[in-house]
């Protein structure tokens, strides 16, 4: 299914969307909606009002809805299933259907590692993935691939992906050029007399990608490839799936942050399609055509590395 773009939720766009959704989910009784409820305090993440037009279409088609997100691996109320669910209900998401948040999983084999994919998504009649497009400190850009590659798995798999992209440093190969310092999106690297000093690492792999001496390499594979691999593995294990990207309120940072870092690009519109890579490619290209290499400027990564990795898969 080719990705379809609309600047606004026009009558024509919504009619076409409803037709496609009905075709994809033909025979389904219930749909699991995979979304990100947003970190408390974040002002640019999704809200019930932002997704209501799409939920209305699913309701009009007669599907029972379950709204799902996974638990996070960092310190947050969203790391606890009860508190996470209470937070989602406090934002008003309960009007659309059941809120389900857990770490239940089935192990699925990917190209680079095994991933603990959400049982709720794998066992669903159909999965409706709705993603807020924004920036991200580890992947540069975040959309549907990020929503699945990090949001459809357990805490353990989230950590494994980040750790898999974590640097391994061969000090003897280092030529002390300092490029790694300039490429770290979070400024965790400072050059000392004997080479780089690492204060922390989230596993984005950007230093590994840009090290000209080969002194820095990822533990498993670069973060973007692992993210794409996980998203592709999840998508391949869904019975039926449909995607919507909301390309508005494009913030510098992920919706996992209490503060999104400010708006970095103009609103673009909406995209729907049948694959995570299709909707992300369309979303990314439209942003870059309008605002230039905004993710590279803001997060030191072009942002399409994950898209290119998924396309190759």
**What are the φ/ψ torsions at residue 248 (nearest 5 degrees)?**
-140, 155
Token duo for residue 247: 């390309």
Q: Is the pLDDT of residue 1 over 80?
A: no
- The percent of residues in the chain predicted with pLDDT above 90, rounded, is 99
Token duo for residue 30: 């219930």
Residues 182 and 143 in one domain: no
Domain of 211, CATH number, reads: 3.30.70.20
Residues 38 and 10 in one domain: yes
Residues 172 and 132 in one domain: no
Number of domains in the chain: 2
Going by C-alpha positions, the residue among 144, 120, 30, 136 that lies closest to residue 69 is: 120
**Taking all residues of the chain, what is their mean pLDDT, rounded to a whole number?**
97
- The length of the chain in residues reads 313
Residues 56 and 15 in one domain: yes
| 115 part of a folded domain | yes
What does each C-alpha distance from 209 to 42, 146, 180, 218, 305 come to in angstroms? Answer: 31, 19, 9, 9, 11
**pLDDT of res. 270:** 98
Residues 209 and 292 in one domain: no
Give the pLDDT band (50/70/90) at residue 203: very high
Residues 204 and 243 in one domain: no
Residues 82 and 15 in one domain: yes
| 120 part of a folded domain | yes
Token duo for residue 203: 């596993």
pLDDT digits over 27-63, tens only?
Answer: 999 999 999 999 999 999 999 999 999 999 999 999 9
| 224 part of a folded domain | no
**pLDDT of res. 102:** 94
pLDDT digits over 114-137, tens only?
Answer: 999 999 999 999 999 999 999 999
- The set of residues, in sequence order, having a beta carbon less than 8 Å from that of 15 and lying 6+ positions away, is none
| 225 part of a folded domain | no
Tell me what the mean pLDDT of segment 159-168 comes to. 98
Q: Is the pLDDT of residue 16 over 90?
A: yes
Q: What DSSP string runs through 156-188?
A: HHHHHHHHHHSEEE-GGG-----HHHHH-TT--
The answer to whether 121 touches 238, Cβ cutoff 8 Å, is yes
Residues 208 and 268 in one domain: no
| 228 part of a folded domain | no
pLDDT digits over 52-98, tens only?
Answer: 999 999 999 999 999 999 999 999 999 999 999 999 999 999 999 99
Tell me what the mean pLDDT of segment 149-169 comes to. 98
The answer to whether 202 touches 229, Cβ cutoff 8 Å, is no
Q: Is the pLDDT of residue 2 over 90?
A: no
Domain of 108, CATH number, reads: 3.40.50.11440
The residue segments making up the domain with residue 57 are 4-155+235-312
Give the span between the Cα atoms of 57 and 272, in whole angstroms: 13
| 87 part of a folded domain | yes
Give the pLDDT band (50/70/90) at residue 101: very high
| 161 part of a folded domain | no
Residues 184 and 261 in one domain: no
Residues 141 and 244 in one domain: yes
Residues 175 and 137 in one domain: no
**pLDDT of res. 34:** 98
Tell me what the mean pLDDT of segment 18-25 comes to. 98
| 230 part of a folded domain | no
pLDDT digits over 104-113, tens only?
Answer: 999 999 999 9
Residues 207 and 250 in one domain: no
**What are the φ/ψ torsions at residue 187 (nearest 5 degrees)?**
55, 40
**What are the φ/ψ torsions at residue 262 (nearest 5 degrees)?**
90, 160
């Amino acid at each position: 299914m080719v990705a379809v773009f609309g600047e606004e939720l026009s009558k024509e766009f919504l009619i076409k969307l409803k037709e496609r959704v009905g075709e994809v989910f033909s025979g389904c009784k219930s749909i699991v909606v995979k979304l990100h409820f947003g970190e408390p305090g974040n002002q640019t993440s999704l809200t019930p009002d932002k997704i209501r037009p799409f939920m209305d279409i699913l309701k009009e088609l007669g599907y029972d809805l379950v709204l799902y997100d996974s638990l996070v691996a960092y310190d947050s109320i969203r790391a606890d299933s009860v508190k996470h669910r209470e937070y989602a209900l406090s934002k008003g998401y309960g009007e659309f259907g059941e809120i389900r948040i857990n770490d239940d999983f089935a192990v699925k084999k990917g190209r680079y590692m095994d991933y603990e994919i959400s049982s709720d998504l794998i066992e669903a009649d159909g999965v409706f993935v709705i993603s807020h497009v924004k920036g991200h400190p580890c992947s540069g850009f975040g959309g549907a691939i990020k929503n699945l590659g990090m949001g459809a798995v357990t805490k353990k798999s989230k950590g494994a992906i980040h750790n898999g992209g974590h640097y391994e440093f061969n000090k003897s190969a280092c030529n002390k050029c300092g490029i790694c310092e300039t490429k770290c999106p979070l400024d965790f690297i400072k050059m000392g007399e004997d080479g780089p000093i690492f204060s922390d690492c989230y596993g984005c792999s950007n230093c590994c990608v840009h090290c000209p001496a080969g002194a820095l390499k990822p533990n498993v594979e670069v973060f973007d490839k692992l993210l794409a691999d996980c998203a592709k593995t999840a998508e391949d294990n869904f019975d039926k799936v449909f995607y919507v990207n909301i390309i508005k309120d494009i913030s510098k940072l992920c919706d996992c942050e209490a503060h999104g870092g400010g708006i970095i690009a103009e609103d673009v519109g909406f995209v729907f399609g049948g694959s995570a890579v299709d909707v992300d490619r369309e979303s990314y290209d439209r942003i870059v055509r309008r605002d230039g290499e905004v993710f590279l400027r803001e997060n030191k990564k072009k942002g399409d590395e994950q898209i290119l990795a998924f396309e190759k898969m």
